[in-house]
Amino acid sequence: MKSTIARISALTLIILCTTAYPQINPAETEIRTARQSSNEALKHHDIQSFAASLDTDFVMIRGNGVLVPSRQAYIDTFTQDFANPKAVTYERIPDKIDLSTAAPLAAEHGHWIGRSGRSGLTDASPNSTPAYSGTYLAMWRKTPTGWKLRSELFVVLTCGDEAACATYRKP
């Protein structure tokens, strides 16, 4: 009797765990890991690791609507930021990832924060001032070398540091 109750309890626990916590697709895990690696690369000014997340034909639209037309232009933007100790630092936080059933693509929906007040040379303190923030949509493409960013669209929604925002508003 006790073993039957134990089996029923174990089976009930398995059913509850698999329905309450749906399985994450391995592709979603790979994309989230790639995003985290990209964020870490930005935090540590590692341009090589940051560039590794970008596909060859990458394009981006900044939060103020300005087009960054190429992978190299995006890399150059961050190279310049890394050289400026007062530059705003960025973090992209994925909220949802949708995998395409039609093509080797995925859509990452999330929010981003640009922070002022860099503490030291490698990152902004989590307690530093959010200069601005907003939402983003990223397109990921499955390549022979893994998931790569094909494009990103950022939209600025809030401003917490007027000086940083004034500079950011310039196209």
Residue with tokens 């232009």: 73
Number of domains in the chain: 1
- With left for phi above 0 and alpha for psi between -120 and 50, is residue 152 left, alpha or beta? beta
Q: What is the pLDDT of residue 114?
A: 92
Tell me: the pLDDT tens digits for 57-109?
A: 999 999 989 999 999 999 999 999 999 888 888 999 999 999 999 999 999 99
- CA–CA separation, 43 and 31 (whole Å): 18
Mean pLDDT rounded to a whole number for the chain: 85
- Asked if the model's pLDDT at residue 166 lies above 90, the reply is no
**CA quadruple 105, 110, 116, 117: dihedral sign:** negative
Which range marks the domain in which residue 96 is found?
Answer: 25-169
Q: How far apart are CA 84 and CA 103, in angstroms?
A: 40
Q: Per the domain annotation, does 9 fall within a domain? A: no
- Any domain includes 6: no
Please give the model's pTM, rounded to 2 decimal places: 0.80
Residue 150 has pLDDT above 90, yes or no: yes
Strands of the sheet containing 67-68, edge to edge, are: 67-68, 54-61, 146-159, 130-143, 105-115, 89-99
124 DSSP 8-state letter: B
Tell me whether residue 78 is in a domain.
yes
In a domain, 151, yes or no: yes
CB-based contacts of 44, cutoff 8 Å, min separation 6: 122, 123
Pairwise CA distance, residues 153 & 111, whole Å? 11
CATH of the domain at 110: 3.10.450.50
Q: What is the mean pLDDT of residues 42-57?
A: 96
Match 């989590």 to its residue by tokens.
Answer: 126
- φ/ψ of 3, rounded to 5, equals -70, -35
